[in-house]
């Protein structure tokens, strides 16, 4: 079976008003009513889209997100209507909140870097003294970021969000409630798979006055996972945890002299490397979901996507 990575799309669907291309996702606005989100096989690191796509990566991310949207819809309604193709979700167009709700169960990543530099407060939230990297917080902390239209998202406190009127207090209280409940559900599902959900982010929007969950959820691109087996031993030795995320791609880039800085060139991605990344994403899928990954036919993938989406949109009218 021939497999082609879908590095870009440029479809013209019935009712299409616009196309937004993110680092990984191509989002088609259909009649200002629906969004068709195609999860491409592009891969980004250090805010740079790498030159080669990764076969099956889009399918992996889309199917993980779909599984978790379905598994959490009793907590808060979400944007999804249907997934007509392994790489596509069609859902309601909403008015997104201009904050991302980041929640951290462990002192890792950005929070650890802040802590290591001497800070004991992040996004207005106090962090206990005497913690070490990857240690569990007494209670998960919410560290929101602004959703930047350009450049990087930036940390912001609950107080600033309310003071600037970015979100009304009555709604922000609900966002925090849903964030904690979603993280608790994600943590429980991860535990059943022998994993630790370390931190993640959620995005919310409003439709007909109600708050709904939008975008992806609990994927390895939006979340950090550790393997539960060996966590305590590695923590005691102050050694790096075994991660289930795309961290291995960042590490490969660093080892080959690339961190997205001016003047640096992305290292050559051999076919063997691309296949290794594809295999790792499939491994991520099977660990996180507990399901066997079924490779969809990738020989005429763009035709397949167009036909599946067109049929689904016709049925939604």
pLDDT at position 115: 98
* pLDDT at site 103: 98
Which sign, positive or negative, has the C-alpha torsion 49, 54, 55, 56? negative
φ/ψ bin of 151: left (φ > 0), alpha (ψ from -120 to 50), beta (otherwise): left
pLDDT of residue 1: 44
How is residue 86 written in tokens? 């392994």
Provide the CB-side half-sphere exposure for 84 (13 A, CA).
20
In degrees, to the nearest 5, what angle opens at C-alpha 182 toward C-alphas 174 and 98?
Answer: 50
- The confidence score (pLDDT) of residue 83 equals 98
Q: What local confidence, expressed as pLDDT, does residue 150 receive?
A: 59
Per-residue pLDDT of the chain (317 residues; tens, 9 = 90+): 456 899 999 999 999 999 999 999 999 999 999 999 999 999 998 889 999 999 999 999 999 999 999 999 999 999 999 999 999 999 999 999 999 999 999 999 999 999 999 999 999 999 999 999 999 999 999 999 997 665 567 999 999 999 999 999 999 999 999 999 999 999 999 999 999 999 999 999 999 999 999 999 999 888 999 999 999 999 999 999 998 888 889 889 989 999 988 999 999 999 999 999 999 999 999 999 999 999 987 678 999 999 999 999 999 97
List of long-range contacts for 226-232, beta carbons under 8 Å, 24+ apart? 226/106, 226/134, 226/195, 226/196, 226/198, 227/194, 227/195, 227/196, 228/191, 228/194, 228/195, 228/196, 229/194, 231/134, 231/196
| Contacts for 301-307: CB closer than 8 Å, 24+ residues apart | 301/4, 301/6, 301/87, 302/6, 302/9, 304/85, 305/6, 305/9, 305/11, 305/38, 305/85, 305/87, 305/88, 306/11, 306/13
Which residue has tokens 């007509």? 84
Q: Is-contact 305 9, C-beta < 8 A?
A: yes
Give the pLDDT confidence score for residue 152 in this predicted structure.
65
Pick the closest to residue 242 from 229, 252, 255 (CA basis): 229
Q: Rounded distance, CA 55 to CA 167, Å?
A: 39
Residue found by looking up tokens 């996180």 in the block: 288
* 3-state helix/strand/coil string of 9-38: CCCCCCCEEEEEECCCEEEEEECCCEEEEE
The span from the CA of 93 to the CA of 34, in Å, is: 5
Angle between helices 57-71 and 271-289 (to 10 degrees): 10
Question: Using an 8 Å Cβ cutoff, are 101 and 179 in contact?
Answer: yes
- Residue 117 pLDDT: 97
Ramachandran region of residue 31, left (φ > 0), alpha (ψ -120 to 50) or beta?
left
Beta strands 95-96 and 195-207, pairing class:
antiparallel
Indicate the DSSP class of residue 136.
Answer: E
Among 2.70.50.30, 3.30.420.40, 3.30.470.20, 3.40.50.970, name the CATH number for the domain at 96-236.
Answer: 3.30.470.20
Q: Tokens 């650890």 identify what position? A: 112
pLDDT of residue 298: 67
- Residue 2: predicted pLDDT: 52
């Amino acid at each position: 079976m021939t497999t082609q990575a879908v590095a870009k799309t440029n479809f013209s669907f019935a009712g299409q008003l616009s196309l937004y291309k993110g680092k990984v996702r191509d989002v088609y606005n259909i009649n200002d009513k629906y969004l068709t989100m195609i999860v491409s096989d592009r891969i980004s690191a250090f805010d740079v889209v790498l030159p080669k796509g990764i076969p099956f990566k889009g399918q992996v991310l889309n199917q993980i997100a779909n599984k978790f949207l379905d598994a959490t819809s009793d907590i808060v309604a979400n944007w999804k209507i249907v997934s007509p193709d392994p790489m596509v979700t069609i859902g309601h167009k909403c008015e997104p909140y201009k904050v991302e709700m980041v929640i951290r169960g462990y002192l890792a990543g950005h929070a650890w870097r802040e802590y290591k530099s001497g800070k004991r407060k992040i996004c207005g939230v106090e962090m206990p003294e005497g913690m070490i990297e990857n240690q569990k917080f007494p209670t998960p902390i919410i560290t929101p970021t602004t959703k930047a239209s350009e450049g990087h998202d930036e940390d912001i406190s609950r107080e600033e969000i309310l003071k600037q009127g970015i979100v009304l207090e009555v709604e922000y209280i609900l966002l925090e409630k849903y964030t904690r409940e979603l993280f608790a559900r994600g943590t429980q599902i991860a535990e059943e798979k022998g994993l630790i959900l370390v931190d993640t982010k959620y995005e919310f929007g409003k439709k007909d006055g109600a708050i709904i969950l939008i975008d992806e959820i609990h994927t390895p691109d939006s979340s950090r996972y550790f393997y539960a087996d060996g966590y305590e031993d590695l923590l005691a030795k102050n050694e790096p945890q075994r991660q289930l995320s795309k961290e291995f791609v960042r590490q490969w880039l660093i080892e080959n002299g690339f961190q997205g800085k001016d003047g640096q060139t992305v290292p050559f991605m051999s076919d063997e490397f691309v296949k290794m990344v594809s295999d790792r994403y499939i491994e991520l899928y099977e660990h996180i979901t507990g399901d066997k990954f079924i490779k969809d036919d990738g020989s005429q993938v763009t035709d397949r996507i167009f036909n599946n989406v067109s049929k689904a949109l016709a049925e939604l009218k």
